[in-house]
Amino acid sequence: MASNLTRIPLRFNHNYKRSGIKSYVWLLRKYNIHPTKEGPYFSGGHVHTQGKYGKGGLHEFHDHEHVPDQQQQQPIGGDVTADDQQNDSMWLCPVGIGTPAQTVNLDFDTGSSDLWVWSTELPKNTLSQSSEGHNVFNPAKSSSWKKLTGSTWKIQYGDNSSASGDVGTDTLNVGGISVEGQAVELAKQMSAQFVQSAGDGLLGLAWGQLNTIKPTPQKTPVENMVAQKGISQALFTAYLGSWRDANEADKGESFYTFGYIDQDTLKANGNAQPSYTPVDTSQGFWQFNSASYSINGKTIQRSGNTAIADTGTTLALVEDSVVDAIYKAIPGAKYDSTNQGYVFPAKTKAAQLPDVAFAVGNKLFHVQKEDLGFADAGNGMIYGGIQSRGDLDFDILGGTFLKGVYAVCLSSHPSLSRADVKRSSTWATSASALFSASRRSRTLPCRRPRALSEA
């Protein structure tokens, strides 16, 4: 293993409060989803509020997440631990930008392709009104910064929230891997939703066609790592842990690796080997066939269904017939229109929860039972970690699913690989993405609302 492989310690954000509906509305914004189930939020070009919440409630809604790696002989690569800043709702990773390096904590997101940061170009009132303490990148303090004259960027979501600014290139350091001339997007303007969110920006791990830089899109960090031979294998991996796992062998650690698959993780799971599946990169996502699911061992076919792996998302969203079937298998579960999602009793024991699995290619990978419960929903109920995808035509498999696998993403041949590691599975894809991971299945009971929000 290369000598520059380092683990960056996790830091927990004690200011975060879990909220199922806030995480769900984040997804409505991010993917411009039109909900198909009753609730206080709906989308019609933009996300609006209705009912008791009134206008403006969306401004408080935010959420995010990231990625990991592989080994072969003596690879060049790097380890970056994922920072579980939002109690399973957001992992942040520290990276260095500039000369000398300025450290910023970024959301590693397989659902987007921009690398943008809070910058000194933001208005003073924006910098002063943030409720979070941000690391702000100052290009004037970097001797290697080069402005890309005429280049701009803009991210805009379905509710019209946005962030935008100009662009330059600089040296990027991710877990000891140095990338020269990386395009860095400086935030010059942000709407309230971005201002109030945690983290200092985002590092996109999706395919380059989602990059928003104009007039000419720029290479992503992974594309540059490969082009500059900073990593020996064109892949990255994601191992998303949980604060609930503090007493387990891996201490609930989350990490990304670039350029190699972590062999210790595979060994800890009986030398499980990644299961590969091809990835469709036409929309810029790590998208793959997911044509079946199972509940308590009964497999149901879903001809033509696809899913994306999104480390920047806390929940898993699937079509209504699937989510209805899952909660039908949980005693006392019901749809709560106030929370715009399914909830179930907090006193539910693990033995009462169904065994749920989703296909990645031809193999089913299980959701950890503890992740079927996401957050306190009030009145002795838990907000479920799997919810409706609305009118979206593909599933979104975020943290609820990814915490049960070791995901390997291959960029040389789009493929996804997962391995049932530690919690239940390993999976990989060949071609451009690879997910590999299957962690040991847990038998822990569902946490009561208080335990769900504890660190």
Domains detected in the chain? 85-230 (2.40.70.10), 273-420 (2.40.70.10)
Q: Is 109 a catalytic residue?
A: yes
pTM of the predicted model as reported, rounded to 2 decimal places: 0.82
β-pairing, 341-345 with 425-430?
Answer: unpaired
Inter-residue contact 405 to 368 (CB < 8 Å): no
Give, in order, the Cα–Cα distances in Å from 109 to each of 202, 209, 312: 7, 15, 4
From the list 84, 107, 280, 310, the catalytic residue is 310
From the list 69, 107, 109, 420, the catalytic residue is 109
SS3 193: helix
The token pair at 200 is: 């200092």
pLDDT at 438: 53
Residues 31-71: tens digit of each pLDDT: 889 999 999 887 654 444 433 222 233 323 333 333 233 33
Closest C-alpha among 146, 135, 131 to residue 180: 146
Residues 377-424: tens digit of each pLDDT: 999 999 999 999 999 999 999 989 998 888 888 876 555 555 554 443
Bigger pLDDT: 451 or 332? 332
Q: Is 393 a catalytic residue?
A: no
Residues 361-390: tens digit of each pLDDT: 999 999 999 999 999 999 999 999 999 999
Distance CA(41)–CA(64), nearest Å, equals 19
pLDDT at 442: 29
β-pairing, 386-388 with 316-318?
Answer: parallel
